[in-house]
Structure 1
Amino acid sequence: MATTSTVNAESRRERLLAILEADGIIRLEEAAEGLGVSAMTVRRDLADLESDGQLRRVRGGAVPSLRPRSFLERMSTGAAAKLVIAEKALALVPEVGAAAFDASSTVGTLLSRLDGASDLTLATNSWENFQVARHQPGISALLVGGEAEERTDSFVGLLACQAASSLHYAKFFTSSAAADSARGTSEVTLAETQVKLAFAEASDETVLLLDSSKLGQRALARSLDWDRIDALVTELDPGDERLDPYRDLTDVI
């Protein structure tokens, strides 16, 4: 009997992690119903997964753990939400001039949906995002180099910040590890925030592309205050009440 219980627990946790990868969030009541167990059982499973560093519990469920993750790992999490965000943001990408795109996977999804431009210079500190952009018609892609941050597959450090600041951008497209209405956005490493700040300071406008599971959260290093963010794009309907705390801070799309 003990062996069966252990197998069932392992199976549940695998399914919970699969939900997290697909949706970017685990909703407690939905997960319990889908697994055919009590909410208390799911809470215990989430507690065990959190202790293993595989997720982070929040009110009503769990979200991905706030730790440096590879581009591939981030890209495979919450793919459906990323696609909705990308479709909304497509109309915001300029056809000409210069625009900056950070090393986030949500921005990578946006880049993968672009259908070219007229004459756009595009700068990014992500090798993966650079590879996508360089094959787009009408786009001259620039890779902002510097120190390779192996944990996040991005370029950071002094040289990256200097390169990011060397152009004047019409818009900067960015995501973040977390964001709340009081403290703005935050990241899992200080080095990531420094490059994002450099891009934002060199841009006329900053567009934040954010999976709603990250709203109301805080990560290690403070990044952009709301007065630096001109628009917030999520997968939610703009009228969703979860966006209420942000309506007076920025345009909600």
Structure 2
Amino acid sequence: MATTSTVDAESRRERLLEILNADGIIRLDAAAERLGVSPMTVRRDLADLETDGQLRRVRGGAVPSLRPRSFVERMSIGAEAKLVIADKARALVPAAGAAAFDASSTVGTLLSRLEGASDLSIATNSYENFQVARRLPGAHALLIGGEAEERTDSFVGLLACQAAGSLHYSRFFTSSAAADPARGTSEVTLAETQVKLAFVEASDETVLLVDSTKLGQRALARALDWDRIDTMVTELDPADERLDAYRELTNLL
């Protein structure tokens, strides 16, 4: 019986992680119903997964743990929300001039949804996002190089910051690990924040692309204050009450 119980628990936890990757969040009651178990059982499973560093428990469920992840791993989390955000943000991408795009997977989704540009220089510190940008008709892709951050598949460090600040951008498109109404955005590494700040300083406007699971959260390193963010794009309807705390801080889309 103990062996069967252990196998069942392992199977449940695998399915919970599948839900987390697909939706970007685990909602306790909904997960219990899908798995055919009690909410208390799901709570225990979430506690074990949190101990293993697989997720982070929040009220009513769990969200991905705030730790460095590869581009591929990040791309697989909350894919549906990323598509909604990208489609909402497409109209904000200029057709010409220069625009900056960070190394986030949400920004990568936005780039993949663009159909082309008139004469747009696209600068990014992500090789994956650079590869997408270089295939866009009418776009000139610029890879911001520097020190390779192996954990996040991005380029960071002094050279990256200097290169990021060498152009003038009409808009900078960025995501974040967390977005708190009192503390602004934050990232899982300090090096990521430094490159983003360099992009912000060189840009007329900054557009934050962030899914709702990151709202009200805080990660390791503080990044952007709200007075540096002109527009926040989420997968939510702008009238959603979950955005109430952000209405006076930035434009919502």
Q: Structure 2 CA distance, aligned partners of 1:232 and 1:29?
A: 29
Q: Which amino acid aligns with 2:33?
A: E
Equivalent residue number for residue 12 of structure 1: 12
Q: Structure 1 CA distance, aligned partners of 2:113 and 2:149?
A: 26
Compute the displacement of 1:4 (Å): 1.4
Q: Structure 1 CA distance, aligned partners of 2:180 and 2:200?
A: 18
Q: Structure 2 CA distance, aligned partners of 1:29 and 1:238?
A: 26
Equivalent residue number for residue 154 of structure 2: 154
TM-score (norm 1): 0.99
Q: Structure 2 CA distance, aligned partners of 1:206 and 1:61?
A: 31
TM-score (norm 2): 0.99
Residue 94 of structure 2 aligns to a residue in which SS?
coil
Q: Which amino acid aligns with 2:202?
A: A
Equivalent residue number for residue 58 of structure 2: 58
Q: Structure 2 CA distance, aligned partners of 1:199 and 1:29?
A: 41
Q: Aligned pair 1:208/2:186, yes or no?
A: no
Compute the displacement of 1:217 (Å): 0.2
1:40-84 Cα shifts (integer Å, max 9, x gaps): 111110000011011111111111111100000000110000000
Q: Which amino acid aligns with 1:126?
A: S
Q: Aligned pair 1:35/2:53, yes or no?
A: no
> How does 1:61-100 map onto structure 2 within 5 Å?
61-100=61-100
The share of aligned pairs that are identical, in percent, is: 84
Query: Which segments of structure 1 move beyond 4 Å, counting only runs of 4 or more?
Result: none
Compute the displacement of 1:105 (Å): 0.1
Q: Structure 2 CA distance, aligned partners of 1:36 and 1:240?
A: 30
1:10-62 Cα shifts (integer Å, max 9, x gaps): 11100000000000110111101111111111111000001101111111111
Compute the displacement of 1:158 (Å): 0.2
Compute the displacement of 1:7 (Å): 1.1
Q: Structure 2 CA distance, aligned partners of 1:28 and 1:188?
A: 25
Q: Structure 2 CA distance, aligned partners of 1:185 and 1:28?
A: 26
Q: Which amino acid aligns with 2:53?
A: G
What is the aligned length?
253
Equivalent residue number for residue 129 of structure 2: 129
Residue 12 of structure 1 aligns to a residue in which SS?
helix
Residue 45 of structure 1 aligns to a residue in which SS?
helix
Q: Structure 1 CA distance, aligned partners of 2:156 and 2:105?
A: 16
1:70-112 Cα shifts (integer Å, max 9, x gaps): 0000001100000000000000000011000000000000000
Residue 42 of structure 1 aligns to a residue in which SS?
helix
Instruction: Specify every segment of 5 or more residues in structure 2 that has no aligned partner in the other structure, as ranges.
Output: none
1:110-141 Cα shifts (integer Å, max 9, x gaps): 00000000000110000000000001011001
Equivalent residue number for residue 239 of structure 1: 239
Instruction: Specify every segment of 5 or more residues in structure 1 that has no aligned partner in the other structure, as ranges.
Output: none
Q: Structure 1 CA distance, aligned partners of 2:54 and 2:249?
A: 32
Equivalent residue number for residue 143 of structure 2: 143
Q: Which amino acid aligns with 2:71?
A: F
Q: Which amino acid aligns with 2:225?
A: D
